Structure 1
């Protein structure tokens, strides 16, 4: 059966809607595919789901499905399947365009198959190649964390293919230097940007700040802050959050908190990300009291914690043996429809039982089973082991 026959076959099969005789719309197919992909581990089945959905890179939801499928296949080390799948898609008449090929390049990078991303750029794209496709290739190298190859592409490909880099090009390269411990190379990139009359933006300088903090080059942090003045780039909330998160990663959460307080004194408003970074930082440093104070302050000021913030706090409170406090946060979290992972919730349940809070532990199990019926057997076993 040819690839096009297979695609027609899978598009009409019941794989995406086994309990429905009504044909699905394109968006419904994709949503069904995403739902199935989340729990599927069989590589061939993953490919069948994608073929049935007849995905394209034209919609955001389809791109999500592509990315999820490639992540699952890469996790299963089914690289031959990724190659065959993407190569087959390149033969589809509706996908013989720069937009899909650029997306395929990124997907290859996501799967750590950078050689195939480069091959797609050099062999499949029509001439002249655009800066958009160059940026896709650089981003693929960034996703693959192949910083050496990214640097080679940045230095050689613009000359080889007569492409003029743009702001996105330079931002990707600076992010790569920051991630790879070579942030000092940022200055040469900024010099080239000046030469080409391309002004950096807040993303450029935020990436630079993140790298210098990671390398503990605090003098260079100061230089970048001065460069913001030079280029008339007003520090955004994202800039403050980069600095707060960077300091917390260095276990300097008290300095990060002082930065937030200074920001507030200067009339700048933090956001939920600012608080979440601080809460995680103080948790990592073992200061659970400060983390709890910040959590209360965050809500008092009207900033809504996201799921990850709740999960972090429940996890570390359990690690610190504060199971009753963890229970209160977990209740609030589950009330919003978010449930921490199995390991964290098992720790909470066992901790409550150990503190003679068996009824509370059983109530937690009941709520989890109501939300995740498929995990009922595991929780039945845990509940059976609780003190009677």
Structure 2
């Protein structure tokens, strides 16, 4: 029974991802035929895809929300309206079914629609107006809004309000603020937040170090981020693949492929395995930097897991191998890509023909 539902959900996702995208009425039919429910992770993915596709057809999205989600899953309907940029619909759905979960979903809807002023208004007025008690997630979401809108300095007043209302902050409360302060290059505030974390019983855990490493790398200060890696190891915190992901990506963006490769070897030696996007991005930068030997080595590692980068990245790799007189190797990759992505077969045929000219 469950396997049948999973197959239906996956089939719905594949149809929703098809090119060209299906028309609104067909999207509704796909969702209904699969009997999608927000209780399932795969179904939530499908519904999210549907909401994005229906952003230009608001009536169809309202139809989907009313038939599949309301009233039992109002928070999910609110989030979907936010994804489609239909914030007034999200607000009216909240008002029809106010709760802490619905409030959190409404703040999330403001975030995904980029309306941070409305998030602030809702946070300040809706809890009292609708007799809803905010929880840690509520405060964390508004802190994320502050961080995304460049107003992280207001974090301290939000934290004070949390404490006054007896809501306990968690690691996410502080890491979100740290990320915001790094983005705004307010390094003194980063230090202040770290001290506040300790005061509230949240130590410098791996997620905290990862946020700090990422923040520095995004600012082009990967050397400082690497020093932070050494500091965390000395303090007994083991880095994760995500730590290395931030560092490797940072050094690649700064043009230091040698350091990126050294860190990659260190990561592999520790037995850490990243997600597919990590490897795809690394291969892209290796190809861009002309290091096709390392790129094909990383490609061979992930091909064994059936992870294959996008057409443009693989085209760079194939052309690079061909330019190094490794024609047979390039052709072998082309055959594998044609087999895996038949819809791109014509594109690969053109690349292959260009190799033999």
TM-score by length of 1: 0.87
Query: C-alpha separation between the residues in 1 aligned to 2:321 and 2:5?
Result: 47
Shift in Å at residue 169 of structure 1?
Answer: 0.7
Deviation track 1:234-291 (CA, whole Å, cap 9, x = no partner) reads 2221111000011000000011111011111111101000001100000000000000
| 1:46 corresponds to | 27
Contact 2:107 2:142 in 1 (8 A): yes
SS at match of 1:233: coil
SS at match of 1:321: coil
2:44 maps to 1:63: yes
Deviation track 1:117-176 (CA, whole Å, cap 9, x = no partner) reads 012112x32xxx221111111111111121010000001111211222111110100011
2:164 maps to 1:195: yes
Q: How many residues align?
A: 354
2:357 maps to 1:382: no
Query: C-alpha separation between the residues in 1 aligned to 2:38 and 2:247?
Result: 37
Query: C-alpha separation between the residues in 1 aligned to 2:276 and 2:8?
Result: 28
Query: C-alpha separation between the residues in 2 aligned to 1:321 and 1:27?
Result: 42
| 2:103 corresponds to | 134
Contact 1:299 1:305 in 2 (8 A): no
SS at match of 1:385: helix
Q: 1:96 aligns with which of 71, 88, 98?
A: 71
Where does structure 2 lack aligned partners over 5 or more consecutive residues?
Answer: none
2:61 maps to 1:82: yes
| 1:35 corresponds to | 14
| Structure with max Cα Rg | 1
2:93 maps to 1:112: no
Query: C-alpha separation between the residues in 1 aligned to 2:142 and 2:315?
Result: 43
| 1:334 corresponds to | 303
Show the 5 A alignment for 1:1-388: 25-39=4-18, 41-43=21-23, 44-74=25-55, 77-89=56-68, 95-97=70-72, 100-122=73-95, 124-125=96-97, 129-387=98-356
Query: C-alpha separation between the residues in 2 aligned to 1:293 and 1:101?
Result: 49
Where does structure 1 lack aligned partners over 5 or more consecutive residues?
Answer: 1-21
SS at match of 1:164: coil
Query: C-alpha separation between the residues in 2 aligned to 1:80 and 1:141?
Result: 20
| 1:3 corresponds to | none
Shift in Å at residue 25 of structure 1?
Answer: 4.0
Deviation track 1:56-112 (CA, whole Å, cap 9, x = no partner) reads 2222222222112212333xx33332223223446xxxx532xx1111001111112
Deviation track 1:291-319 (CA, whole Å, cap 9, x = no partner) reads 01111110001111321221111101111
Query: C-alpha separation between the residues in 2 aligned to 1:60 and 1:322?
Result: 39
Query: C-alpha separation between the residues in 2 aligned to 1:174 and 1:50?
Result: 34
TM-score by length of 2: 0.95
Query: C-alpha separation between the residues in 2 aligned to 1:308 and 1:55?
Result: 27
SS at match of 2:54: helix
Contact 2:37 2:68 in 1 (8 A): no
Are residues 120 and 335 of structure 1, via their aligned partners in 2, closer, same or farther at CA, if it must alter by over 3 Å? Answer: same
Contact 1:202 1:235 in 2 (8 A): no
